[in-house]
Structure 1
């Protein structure tokens, strides 16, 4: 082959190759795992629709170039762990963890797959990331910065009820032990600084919500703070 002809052919391939590579990349289907907290797609419909629409707006069309693997643990810790393992074994490209227990379970299982937690009260205190500025590892996400807001929440209650002296802290059992401990410590310090008495109450199931509020009332609590995915999911019952 003549040198000139060879150079022309190589130059031609060089021009075409990026197009071929782009075409191959554009037809690849991304696999995204989502570890929810409720028990079904129907229960998560509002948030599930928002999530898929957000990806759609970014050009990720379900069935075309993205495949979602949704898993619904129904706020059960054992199911959270087993479904987290199932997603990791499925070799997904990234996993979205809706709850802190889900993110914690995934961190314990994999250090290779990127994990994005949706909201965490205290990702540093929960051991998910090294710091907010430099998360490190394979996890990142959004923080409620809860330790910084505990005092403000109690302050709002105190403003609404000037005579407030006792506050109930209702936490659902799906919270990981570290988050539960950190919540109690943060609220206890803030309550003590404001001259309030904090009464932590565990809420194991949605059916226990009424009993938890009754226990808070019997203990003399005039207001309550609620924490945890299950209690958030049961907002209507908590409000009632």
Structure 2
């Protein structure tokens, strides 16, 4: 993507709305009887409504009812999980932004407490069932190539803004066992990393 009229902007983007449906698909495979999938998002973040729409569309295309859990501050997390249970959510997709990342341990704990299988946007949610998203070490290496090119004389305006090139599906077998889930072969064939 080139930004016309901008003289010195380049870099990498980690916000890829198109990834969100790919978080719903393995979740439905991991929990095949799921009738309702909740999505934990901070809708006050301007980037999030498009991500919610992507999750909502993907869920409906799989015959699953989506449920939005709008959390705007840490104090909203516990009530959001209570809502998920009251509304009989069978699984959870967790969005990635400042609020959820800052509260990752709490979110993972609440999902475990409520026995709610969840797919996260990042491996930062250690202990969660699965994550699908940007491989950040690879992303950081790509950023270093931009710096190297600029130090060697390239103009930032000549370097396109890039989307992530490596996405990873990580599955936590210990969490799957704790939830009584068997990882289907179709998911195992897609897994980049298994956490024991």
TM-score, structure 2 length as denominator?
A: 0.49
Q: Which has the higher contact order (CA 8 A, sep 6+)?
A: 2
